[in-house]
């Protein structure tokens, strides 16, 4: 069996936005309320995870001639570890397309997601709210109607909106289609769905579908010159690791199949299900090669997508965002799966690059070390579009960092002299709550994790160490040595801060429970998403 299959028809004609974005709305971040004005759209551009080729960088528009509002392209690549990309120093040639594009972009060294699995992480991206607020931390909850999505604000602001998604957790039934004129659920045809995730829709089929839309859109002459918002989701680097074998063999020529990348092969070594066990080094080696092969394959398809969009002229005025919803673990903490279970940097720290077409910028590429969060993506895109931020937003637009990309930062300390940059919070919070309840606080120097006592075990009866863990990232980047001490001033200060953040959780809103078919529930169960 292989999952290189064409997607089934999953087109959703989404309803228009019910959420206006009146002038003067305010946004929150971590309990602090700050007034913000939208930054002019022709300032900078966001390119997360990789560049789009020559001509993308970040700066303020210098040309006096008026420009129409930018098109917006937002790409999410599931389960993509930043440290498995060449642009972040990885030794394997997994990402030639993204590496090349990154040379003309702003690279964020410390971008963090707000949850370590697909559903809540994407909700945070699209609503600019922490999981404590949206509380979509289980497949039994959908996005509250009271939280406006990025697409709704853009649609209300005059954008044509279209989305292409390749996994169940981004389906319309969870609320993601709100605000999209067209929302394409590229899920496998029913006849190809079984207990194996090998039949998830592959990157080449996703790109084929996006380019069919792009060709038609370009042929139609860009109706009314209305700007567009394009969202594309790729699932490929997620387990099962089943790349074209030639891509995996670049990293392990001895591979004869992709069997060692399947959930079936790796499930016995998931600590959350079975406790910590000894993982064969040979299995880690083969699974990592297969995972890297998935990245290489997806990178090639992203290059094909960008190449065609560029040929069609659809990137000439486009702001682009590409990022990941979480990373993964390969034995670093005693498990062959960390996403949805842990809050270590392996699963929370993701790639993020930012760039813009050359006619919109004069700034050179650069790197930023400030901590930024996935909830900052929607505010940044709305700022490009000149649309005020909804009051519910907790993130902040990244433009101050992008405008000063050449200034850089050391150890998270800004060096520009700009008050907006110098006052950057340099904090990231995250939470998970399905199988085990954890929250974390990341600073430039430390990571604090709190595990709630839920009876001494997780949902599967596996013992869980509760309380706080503290890691010194500078001395212990792998987060292997717990240094929490109740008498230590750093432990005290950070635990007070994290507890204050956790107290911000409100009562959950009553929301419709998404109705999953028996087939969908079995499919999610087969990759460990809803238990054994």
Query: What is the structure's pLDDT at 530?
Result: 64
Query: What is the structure's pLDDT at 401?
Result: 85
Query: What is the structure's pLDDT at 222?
Result: 76
Longest CA–CA span in the chain (Å) reads 67
Q: What's the rounded Cα separation, in Å, for the pair 28 and 19?
A: 18
Q: Judge contact between 10 and 180, C-beta under 8 A.
A: no
- % of the chain with per-residue pLDDT over 90: 59
Top pLDDT among 283 and 18 is at 283
Top pLDDT among 529 and 140 is at 140
Top pLDDT among 56 and 463 is at 463
Given a cut of 70, is residue 11 above it in pLDDT? Answer: no
Residue 511 pLDDT grade (very low, low, confident, very high; cuts 50, 70, 90): confident
- For 53-77, how does the pLDDT look when each residue is reduced to its tens digit (9 = 90+)? 433 333 333 333 346 788 999 999 9
Which segment of 225-229, 282-286, 426-430 scores lowest on mean pLDDT?
A: 225-229
Mean pLDDT for 316-321 is 85
Query: What is the structure's pLDDT at 410?
Result: 36
CB neighbours of residue 357 within 10 Å: 21
Name the nearest CA neighbour of 440 among 132, 129, 97: 132
Starting at the edge strand found earlier in the chain, the sheet holding 438-442 runs 428-432, 438-442, 446-451, 467-472
Given a cut of 70, is residue 407 above it in pLDDT? Answer: no
C-alpha distances out from residue 460 to 53, 162, 276, 434, 465, Å: 47, 39, 14, 11, 14
Q: What's the rounded Cα separation, in Å, for the pair 93 and 438?
A: 34
- pTM for the predicted model, two decimal places: 0.84
Residue 403 pLDDT grade (very low, low, confident, very high; cuts 50, 70, 90): confident
Mean pLDDT for 442-464 is 92
Mean pLDDT for 186-210 is 73
Angle of helix 118-127 versus helix 377-385 axis, rounded to 10: 30
Q: What is the DSSP letter of 181?
A: S
Q: H/E element holding 74?
A: strand 71-77
Quote the mean pLDDT of the chain. Answer: 83
Which segment of 450-464, 474-488, 506-520 scores lowest on mean pLDDT?
A: 506-520
Name the nearest CA neighbour of 436 among 340, 331, 347, 529: 340
Name the nearest CA neighbour of 215 among 75, 71, 311, 321: 311
- Residues 382, 310, 53, 327: is their CA dihedral positive or negative? positive
- % of the chain with per-residue pLDDT over 70: 78
Mean pLDDT for 35-49 is 37
Given a cut of 50, is residue 20 above it in pLDDT? Answer: no
Query: What is the structure's pLDDT at 176?
Result: 97
- Residues 377, 381, 382, 383: is their CA dihedral positive or negative? positive
Q: What's the rounded Cα separation, in Å, for the pair 361 and 97?
A: 22
3-state secondary structure 407-461: HCEECCEECCCCHHHHCCCCCEEEEECCCCCEEEEECCCEEEEEECCCCCECCCC
Given a cut of 60, is residue 224 above it in pLDDT? Answer: yes
**Among 41-45, 94-98, 467-471, which range has the highest average pLDDT?**
467-471
3-class SS of residue 256: coil
Query: What is the structure's pLDDT at 26?
Result: 32
Mean pLDDT for 24-28 is 34
Burial 46-84 (b: 16+ CB within 10 A, else e): bbbbbbbbebbbbbbbeeeeeeebbbbbbbbbbbbbbeb
Residue 187 pLDDT grade (very low, low, confident, very high; cuts 50, 70, 90): confident
Give the β-pairing of 413-414 and 409-410: antiparallel
Which segment of 155-164, 192-201, 321-330, 331-340 scores lowest on mean pLDDT?
A: 192-201
Which segment of 108-122, 264-278, 333-347, 518-532 scores lowest on mean pLDDT?
A: 518-532
Q: What's the rounded Cα separation, in Å, for the pair 188 and 185?
A: 9
Q: What's the rounded Cα separation, in Å, for the pair 312 and 298?
A: 21
- For 349-386, how does the pLDDT look when each residue is reduced to its tens digit (9 = 90+)? 999 987 777 766 666 778 889 999 999 999 999 998 99
Query: What is the structure's pLDDT at 190?
Result: 57
Query: What is the structure's pLDDT at 54?
Result: 38
Joined together, the tokens standing for residue 120 give 């809540």
Joined together, the tokens standing for residue 105 give 């972009």
Query: What is the structure's pLDDT at 223?
Result: 67
Residue 199 pLDDT grade (very low, low, confident, very high; cuts 50, 70, 90): low
3-class SS of residue 3: coil
Query: What is the structure's pLDDT at 42?
Result: 35
Residue 16 pLDDT grade (very low, low, confident, very high; cuts 50, 70, 90): very low
Mean pLDDT for 508-521 is 74
Angle at 303 (CA atoms; ends 299, 304), nearest 5 degrees: 120
Query: What is the structure's pLDDT at 460?
Result: 87
- For 470-501, how does the pLDDT look when each residue is reduced to its tens digit (9 = 90+)? 999 999 999 999 999 999 999 999 999 999 99
Q: What's the rounded Cα separation, in Å, for the pair 184 and 283?
A: 36
Mean pLDDT for 413-439 is 78
Q: What's the rounded Cα separation, in Å, for the pair 392 and 19?
A: 11
Q: What's the rounded Cα separation, in Å, for the pair 253 and 117?
A: 31
Q: H/E element holding 368?
A: strand 366-373
Q: What's the rounded Cα separation, in Å, for the pair 112 and 527?
A: 24
Q: Judge contact between 355 and 124, C-beta under 8 A.
A: no
Query: What is the structure's pLDDT at 312?
Result: 95
Given a cut of 80, is residue 444 above it in pLDDT? Answer: yes
Joined together, the tokens standing for residue 38 give 């939208």
Please give the class, per CATH, of domain 11-63+70-419+427-526.
alpha beta
Rg (CA), the chain: 22
Residue 189 pLDDT grade (very low, low, confident, very high; cuts 50, 70, 90): low
Query: What is the structure's pLDDT at 406?
Result: 53
- Residues 318, 375, 33, 489: is their CA dihedral positive or negative? negative
Query: What is the structure's pLDDT at 375?
Result: 98
Name the nearest CA neighbour of 16 among 182, 168, 210: 182
């Amino acid at each position: 069996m292989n999952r290189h299959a064409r997607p089934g028809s999953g087109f959703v004609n989404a309803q228009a936005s019910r959420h206006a974005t009146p002038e003067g709305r305010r946004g929150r971040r971590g309990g602090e309320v700050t007034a913000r004005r939208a930054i002019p759209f022709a300032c900078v551009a966001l390119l997360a995870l990789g560049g789009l080729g020559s001509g993308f960088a970040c700066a303020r528009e210098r040309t006096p001639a008026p420009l129409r509002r930018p098109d917006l392209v937002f790409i999410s690549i599931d389960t993509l570890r930043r440290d498995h990309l060449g642009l972040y120093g990885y030794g394997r040639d997994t990402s030639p397309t993204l590496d090349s594009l990154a040379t003309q972009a702003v690279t964020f060294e410390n971008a963090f997601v707000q949850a370590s699995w697909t559903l809540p992480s994407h909700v945070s991206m699209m609503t600019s709210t922490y999981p404590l607020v949206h509380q979509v931390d289980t497949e039994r909850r959908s996005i509250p109607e009271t939280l406006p999505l990025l697409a709704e604000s853009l649609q209300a602001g005059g954008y044509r909106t279209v989305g292409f998604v390749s996994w169940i957790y981004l389906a319309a039934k969870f609320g993601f289609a709100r605000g999209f004129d067209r929302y394409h659920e590229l899920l496998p045809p029913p006849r190809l769905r079984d207990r194996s995730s090998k039949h998830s829709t592959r990157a080449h089929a996703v790109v084929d579908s996006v380019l069919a839309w792009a060709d038609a859109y370009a042929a139609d002459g860009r109706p009314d010159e209305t700007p567009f918002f394009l969202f594309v989701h790729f699932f490929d680097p997620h387990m099962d690791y089943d790349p074209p074998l030639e891509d995996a063999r670049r990293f392990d020529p001895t591979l004869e199949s992709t069997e060692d990348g399947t959930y079936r092969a790796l499930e016995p070594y998931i600590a959350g299900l079975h406790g910590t066990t000894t993982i064969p080094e040979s299995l880690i080696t083969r699974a990592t090669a297969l995972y890297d092969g998935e990245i290489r394959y997806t990178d090639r398809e992203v290059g094909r997508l960008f190449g065609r969009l560029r040929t069609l002229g659809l990137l000439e005025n486009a702001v682009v965002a590409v990022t990941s919803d979480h990373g993964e673990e390969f034995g670093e903490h005693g498990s062959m799966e960390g996403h949805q279970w842990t809050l270590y940097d392996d699963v929370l720290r993701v790639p993020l690059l930012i760039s813009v077409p050359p006619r919109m910028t004069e700034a050179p590429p650069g790197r930023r070390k400030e901590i930024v969060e996935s909830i900052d993506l929607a505010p940044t895109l709305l700022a490009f579009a000149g649309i005020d931020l909804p009051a519910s937003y907790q993130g902040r637009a990244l433009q101050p960092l992008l405008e000063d990309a050449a200034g850089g930062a050391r150890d998270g300390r800004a060096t520009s002299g700009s008050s907006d940059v110098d006052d950057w919070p340099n904090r990231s919070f995250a939470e998970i709550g399905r199988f085990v309840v954890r929250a974390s606080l990341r600073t430039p120097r430390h990571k604090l994790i709190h595990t709630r006592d839920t009876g001494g075990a997780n949902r599967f009866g596996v013992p869980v160490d509760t309380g706080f863990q503290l890691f010194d990232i500078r001395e212990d980047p792998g987060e292997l040595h717990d240094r929490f001490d109740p008498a230590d001033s750093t432990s005290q200060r950070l635990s007070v801060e994290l507890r204050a953040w956790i107290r911000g959780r409100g009562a959950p809103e009553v929301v419709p429970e998404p109705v999953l078919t028996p087939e969908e529930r079995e499919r999610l169960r087969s990759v460990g998403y809803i238990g054994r």
